[in-house]
């Protein structure tokens, strides 16, 4: 379902969910029912449950005009902070198929912050198959300095792959190979 721009949820609630130790509730991942990520985000905000839903702009095919929609970067997933009571409240929304408990919250937060930094730069990102093996690199300088990921080549272009391990999803961003250094 396509929502008008004013009805799209914010990518995160509250504004500082990734930067603070807000309410010390554990991170969880909602595996949503089909195409319900944004509806769930609106529900969680109404219930005052913190969430992060990375969104990217996608062109919609239309012969008469160019239309763009905000789409979830990770189809079927939304990250949220909830104790057992809030988890139950989220389930009552009827938009969640299952909840994934996060084993390494520190790692998840680090991965989400990196993806948010890339999105804030306005750099195009593309969903990418999850990669566990490959060369781990760090960007040396520029606006995306200190972002870490796996470098790959695709069609003679270099891409940096950023992964969220607990949901086994990745995104890729085009990068100049001269900007990265290997992490030992």
Phi then psi dihedrals of residue 177, to 5 deg: -60, -25
* CATH label, 8-102, candidates 3.30.70.940, 1.10.10.10, 3.40.50.970, 2.170.120.40: 3.30.70.940
Taking 90 as the threshold, does the pLDDT of residue 184 lie above it? Answer: no
Taking 80 as the threshold, does the pLDDT of residue 153 lie above it? Answer: no
The pLDDT tens digits for 96-134 are: 999 999 999 999 999 999 999 999 998 888 777 564 456
Domain ranges of the chain: 8-102, 125-184
The pLDDT value recorded for residue 55 is 93
The pLDDT value recorded for residue 15 is 92
Region 136-161: mean pLDDT is 83
Taking 70 as the threshold, does the pLDDT of residue 21 lie above it? Answer: no
The pLDDT value recorded for residue 37 is 97
State how far the Cα of 40 lies from the Cα of 140, in Å rounded to an integer.
37
Q: pLDDT class for 26, splitting at 50, 70, 90?
A: very high
The upper half-sphere exposure of residue 138, i.e. CA atoms within 13 Å in the direction of its Cβ, equals 7
Phi then psi dihedrals of residue 123, to 5 deg: -70, 135
Residues found in the chain: 184
The pLDDT tens digits for 75-88 are: 999 999 999 999 99
Top pLDDT among 89 and 24 is at 89
The pLDDT value recorded for residue 6 is 72
Residue 57 CA to its chain's centroid (Å): 13
The pLDDT value recorded for residue 180 is 81
CATH number of 125-184: 2.30.30
The pLDDT value recorded for residue 158 is 78
Taking 70 as the threshold, does the pLDDT of residue 156 lie above it? Answer: no
Share the mean pLDDT of the chain. Answer: 87
Region 6-23: mean pLDDT is 85
Q: Round to the nearest angstrom and report the end-to-end CA distance of the chain.
A: 45
């Amino acid at each position: 379902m396509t929502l008008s721009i004013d009805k799209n949820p914010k990518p995160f609630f509250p504004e500082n969910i990734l930067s603070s130790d807000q309410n010390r509730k554990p991170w969880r991942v909602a595996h949503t029912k089909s195409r319900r990520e944004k509806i769930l985000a609106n529900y969680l905000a109404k219930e005052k449950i913190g969430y992060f839903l990375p969104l990217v702009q996608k062109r919609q095919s239309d012969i008469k005009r160019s239309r763009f929609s905000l789409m979830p970067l990770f189809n079927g997933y939304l990250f949220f902070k909830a104790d057992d009571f809030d988890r139950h409240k989220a389930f009552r929304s009827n938009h969640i198929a299952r909840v994934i408990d996060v084993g390494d919250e520190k790692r998840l937060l680090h991965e989400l912050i990196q993806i948010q930094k890339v999105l804030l730069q306005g750099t195009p990102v593309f969903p990418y198959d999850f990669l566990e093996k490959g060369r781990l690199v760090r960007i040396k300088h520029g606006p995306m300095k200190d972002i870490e990921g796996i470098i790959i080549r695709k069609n003679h272009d270099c891409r940096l792959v950023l992964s969220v391990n607990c949901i086994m999803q990745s995104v890729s961003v085009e990068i100049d190979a001269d900007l990265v250094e290997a992490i030992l």
